[in-house]
Structure 1
Amino acid sequence: MQFEVSNLYHIYNRGNNKQPIFFNRDNYLYFLTKVKKHIQPNCDILAWCLMPNHFHFLLHANIATVKIVKENPIEINALTEGIRLLLSSYTQGINKQNNTTGNLFQQKTKSKCITDGDKNYGYTTFQYTHQNPFKANLVRRLEDWEFSSFADYAGLRNGRLCNKALAFSLFAINEKTFLSDSYKELPDDLLKKIF
């Protein structure tokens, strides 16, 4: 994956054959420890959501993101390598837990640059990421889904994965209306642009 400093990226992947990737609460927490180790040092995480069979991240590339960490046979940047390590180490843990073998995730993690074009792409991705469990009918309220950054932004939890100050700045988020704004319907034409 190629990244450029200061650009926003929607990163997502799902279970092989759309199968679950999280089987219990501890799996979600284990994945997040891997995110903290392999992803957070290599970019600014602006939003995230873990769903039973897929995940979404909204990332802001910085200098650490584009640092070359491997050169042979091709150059690999720190974030690409971090994503690889996250998924492979998590898969190993789940395979051991479930006494299985093989790929847990689809082969290619998707990375969509959403900086180009309309300035609403980043904010749309931010909102979409948080609305995912609500739209999937996993919860009745956004604030009830434990495995996203929504609770951090809503002031219900003091999570430390996201660079909230940067997100507030980039998307001009109004802290006073954040909760009600988060439930607003997202335009289909913008949603198509974030994938």
Structure 2
Amino acid sequence: MKNPEPLITNHLYHIYNRGINSCNIFESEENYEYFLNLYEKHIEPIAKTFAWVLMPNHFHLLVQIRGQDFEARAPHQCFSNFFNAYSKAFNKFHNRHGALFERPFKRKQIDNSAYFKKLVIYIHQNPVHHGFCEHPLEYGWSSYLTCISSKSTKFERDEVIKWFGGGYDFECCHKEKINSAEINEFLGI
């Protein structure tokens, strides 16, 4: 197994993973909510979040590692602690044991704005691609609804909307189907 790509401050990453043997990692609304609460505790202090989606057996995150001192906590360790905390709680809640996620968690550095935009759309369209809905608006466990909302958020909504040239363009771009094969090729999956 090759060593995973390090997480470097001020760089953007697509972080994703799935349940071991493609098992579900979310079985209930409580699981989704707990994952997001742990995410806020472990990841929000070390990373800005630009897009996310939680699917029953996998997730995608688009983050930028913050450029600051993490009190001797490496960003990859914060992610590892987060996934471990969620796995332990999930296992206890569902009376199971053993690994929940594939290891190591996958990460791909994003180094250009065109790919950033495609990835945001890919993440938001993931529920459409997997047949859970017809439009990202219909799926509650992604950042799409936050992007089109005016409610306050820690999510980097304004910056994401700006990358698309405004709210109207953001919504129009999400009506077009993204080429999943192109994204998968870039990710090597």
Instruction: Supply the distance in 2 between the matched residues of 1:23 and 1:8 (Cα, whole angstroms).
Output: 29
Structure 1 gaps, min length 5:
71-76
Contact 1:114 1:194 in 2 (8 A): no
Structure 2 unaligned residues grouped into runs of 5+: none
Alignment counterpart, residue 185 of structure 2, candidates 176, 179, 192 = 192
SS at the partner of 2:16?
strand
1:2 aligns with 2:17: no
- Maintained 8 Å contact 2:125/2:135: no
**CA deviation after TM superposition for structure 1 residue 119, in Å:** 3.0
For 2:82, the aligned partner's letter is L
Aligned to 1:162: 155
**Counterpart residue identity of residue 100, structure 2:** L
SS of 2:100's equivalent?
coil
* Residue 180 (structure 1) aligned with residue 159 (structure 2): no
What CA distance in whole angstroms lies between the structure 2 residues aligned with 1:189 and 1:131? Answer: 14
Flag the 1:55–1:159 CA change in 2: closer, same or farther, 3 A.
farther
Runs of 4+ that moved beyond 4 A: none
Paired residues in the alignment total: 183
1:73 matched to which residue of 2? none
Output the amino acid matched with 1:180: C
| One-letter amino acid matched to 2:146 | D
Q: Alpha-carbon deviation of 1:159?
A: 6.1
1:12-23 to 2 correspondences below 5 Å:
12-23=16-27
What CA RMSD, in Å, does the superposition of the two structures yield over aligned residues? 2.0
Which amino acid letter does the alignment assign opposite residue 193 of structure 1? F
2:48/2:156 contact within 8 Å kept: yes
Task: Decide which of 34, 55, 76 is 1:30's aligned counterpart.
Answer: 34
**For residues 112-151 of structure 1, what are the structure 2 equivalents within 5 Å?**
112-115=108-111, 118-151=112-145
Cα drift, residue 62 of structure 1: 2.0
- The answer (yes or no) to whether the contact 1:133–1:142 under 8 Å persists in 2 is yes
Structure 2 match to 1:86 = 82
Are the counterparts in 2 of residues 143 and 150 from structure 1 also a CA contact under 8 Å? yes
Q: Deviations over 1:61-95 (max 9, x none)?
A: 2213x74625xxxxxx1x21221111111111111
- Which letter does structure 2 place at the counterpart of 1:69? A
Pair 1:63 & 2:59 matched: no
CA contact (8 A) 1:121 1:194 kept: no
Please say if residues 114 and 121 of structure 1, whose CA atoms lie closer than 8 Å, have aligned partners that are also in contact. Answer: yes
Show the counterpart of 1:152: 146
Does 1:48 pair with 2:39?
no
Instruction: Assess, with a 3 A threshold, how the Cα gap between structure 1 residues 190 and 102 changes in structure 2: closer, same or farther.
Output: closer
Contact 2:25 2:57 in 1 (8 A): yes
